[in-house]
Amino acid sequence: TQLLEQSPQFLSIQEGENLTVYCNSSSVFSSLQWYRQEPGEGPVLLVTVVTGGEVKKLKRLTFQFGDARKDSSLHITAAQPGDTGLYLCAGARSQGNLIFGKGTKLSVKP
Amino acid sequence: KAGVTQTPRYLIKTRGQQVTLSCSPISGHRSVSWYQQTPGQGLQFLFEYFSETQRNKGNFPGRFSGRQFSNSRSEMNVSTLELGDSALYLCASSLDGLRNEKLFFGSGTQLSVL
């Protein structure tokens, strides 16, 4: 059973389009992190959200943590080819390691 | 400062062999975590070391082991390799391994078991 479900699994869009990817769980997390991973590289942290209902913006990327701290979303405005990659969410529990979702593979075509 | 360094980048082994992977964390980071990444299962936590002690362990068989040295460098070992061990093995370091700390990942070691 996957603790963190990410959707969609794959997404292929044209440059300039908007998109939203989701990270859902039945468990409560103390915080949630979003990473982007490019081929041949390790994941790179984009943002950490800690408070239920929190919204964080990073240029064209908007991250939201659900009120109940069980889900999160990532919205990208006017996607660019440089946004292409695997987007991973990871939840932190009260103790122990980060739990990762399987990721959303995003392809932005010029 | 230098990032997390993993060696080797690529490795090809045959079933039954054993393998050792190395990870050098960012200078000053004392926590090192290891993850296995496969297309089917995503990133799965193997174990975490802090100050030379294994502090946390995932649900992997005993064939997977690790250690950390006094300079925080870490190695992981997989014995009696199986085909299903083919994966990208990622190492991540952080200052103290606290809950909301930023993890810095290496580029990984791509292991292929034939």
Determine whether the interchain pair B56/A100 forms a contact, defined as Cβ–Cβ distance below 8 Å.
no
Question: Is some CB atom of chain B closer than 8 A to the CB atom of A85?
Answer: no
Tens-digit pLDDT profile for chain B (114 aa)?
679 999 999 999 999 999 999 999 999 999 999 999 998 899 999 999 999 999 989 999 999 999 999 999 999 999 999 999 999 999 999 998 777 788 999 999 999 999
- 3-class secondary structure per residue, A34-99: EEEECCCCCCEEEEEECCCCCEEEECCEEEEECCCCCEEEEEECCCCHHHCEEEEEEEECCCCCEE
Question: Is some CB atom of chain A closer than 8 A to the CB atom of B1?
Answer: no
Which residue on chain A is closest to B48 by alpha carbon?
A: A97
Contacts of A34 in chain B (CB under 8 A): none
Contacts of B102 in chain A (CB under 8 A): 45, 48
Q: What is the reported pLDDT for B40? A: 87
Question: What percent of chain A has a predicted confidence (pLDDT) above 70?
Answer: 95
Query: b/e per residue, B59-71, with b = 16+ CB within 10 A?
Result: ebeeebbbebeee
Contacts of A41 in chain B (CB under 8 A): 107-108
Residue A42 is nearest to which of B41, B45, B107, comparing CB atoms?
B107
Residue A101 is nearest to which of B4, B42, B108, comparing CB atoms?
B42
Determine whether the interchain pair B43/A43 forms a contact, defined as Cβ–Cβ distance below 8 Å.
yes
Residue A2 reports pLDDT greater than 70: no
Residue B51 tokens read as 């100050």
